[in-house]
Amino acid sequence: MRLFSLLCFVLVLAACRQTTRNAIPMCHDPNMAVAQFASFASDAQFRNAHPAPAPVEGVHAGVMVEFPVEGGPNGRAFLMKSHAQTNKYLLIFHEWWGLNDYVKNETAMWCHQLGINVMAIDLYDGKVTASPDSAGMLMQANDPTRSIALIKGAAKYAGDAADFRTLGWCFGGGWSLQAALALGDRAKGCVMYYGMPEKDLDKLRSLSSDVLFIHAKQDQWITDAVVGEFEANMKTAGKTLTVHRYDANHAFANPSSPRYNDAEAKASRAVVRAYLQGK
């Protein structure tokens, strides 16, 4: 397994060095928050903190859709449309496992609870895993340039009249904030579940929405210090950040995770629902 992981790392590095006119370079800007989070996959303790999720029965009724993406192949997303006509969208960002049935069920649940359209964007282009080692490699191979293009492609698919809220967990928690930044004044709200905050003050100053951060106080990676720095940076940038702290560990809100904390997950979900209903 170590030899396989090393080979994958070498291949990713090689892809980073490729520059062709039509290809998006597959590499990380080391200063990007999402790249910093992806580096955690090299830590065995982080991988061990993400035991394989339990199988989830798909109870969703949405559909997979495709949309054009600038600079690359079509993107994919799981879409659940509201019964009522609305231009409001919630964009969901999956954990490092990929766009699995748990995320699709979340998509359907939020659609029913909020009465708006919900779209879960596939940042892995069809790859899904239940193996922590494989999830780590998928997360490290994720190309931020491609992901931003996917977000913009999904927004274009939703239409010029659409506005957006974003929500994500873990790997997707960081991408929830990056999406809000990429969407400009079309972003009306942002929810981050224990994701990596952006540290670039110039980027934060460009943020149009406020942010709700769900913090697991026992998290050894997105720590109290990381969240405290985010609070200070958002204040400096003149932006509104609300942090809700829960006595739980990383991944506590995922019912398919062995780390699921039912009481704290339900409490955080009520906070998130109230926030999103106001957007």
CA gap 243, 233 in Å, rounded: 13
Our CA angle for 206, 217, 178, nearest 5°, is 20
Q: Is the pLDDT of residue 86 over 60?
A: yes
Q: Name the band, by pLDDT with cuts 50, 70 and 90, for residue 28.
A: very low
CA gap 224, 182 in Å, rounded: 26
* Residue 80 domain-assigned (yes or no): yes
The structure tokens 């274009």 sit at: 156
State the CATH number of the domain containing residue 176.
Answer: 3.40.50.1820
- As given in the structure block, the two tokens for residue 52 are 């394989």
Q: Tell me: the pLDDT tens digits for 33-74? A: 988 999 999 999 999 989 999 988 877 689 999 999 999 999
- pLDDT the model gives residue 31: 52
Q: Is the pLDDT of residue 92 over 60?
A: yes
CA gap 128, 162 in Å, rounded: 29
Q: Name the band, by pLDDT with cuts 50, 70 and 90, for residue 3.
A: very low
* Residue 8 domain-assigned (yes or no): no
* Residue 24 domain-assigned (yes or no): no
Mean pLDDT value across residues 190-198: 98
- pLDDT the model gives residue 8: 44
On average, the pLDDT of the chain sits at 90
Q: Tell me: the pLDDT tens digits for 107-120? A: 999 999 999 999 99
* Residue 13 domain-assigned (yes or no): no
Q: Give how far Cα 230 sits from Cα of 5, 73, 195, 224, Å.
A: 32, 34, 11, 10
* Residue 95 domain-assigned (yes or no): yes
Q: Tell me: the pLDDT tens digits for 129-172? A: 999 999 999 999 999 999 999 999 999 999 999 999 999 999 99
Q: Is the pLDDT of residue 76 over 80?
A: yes
pTM: 0.89
Residues 6+ apart with CB under 8 A from 163: 87, 88, 89, 186, 187, 188
- pLDDT the model gives residue 58: 79
Range of the domain at 42: 30-277
* Residue 241 domain-assigned (yes or no): yes
* Residue 9 domain-assigned (yes or no): no
Looking at the 3D structure of the chain, how many domains does it have?
Answer: 1
3-state helix, strand, coil in the chain (%, to 5): 45, 20, 40
* Residue 23 domain-assigned (yes or no): no
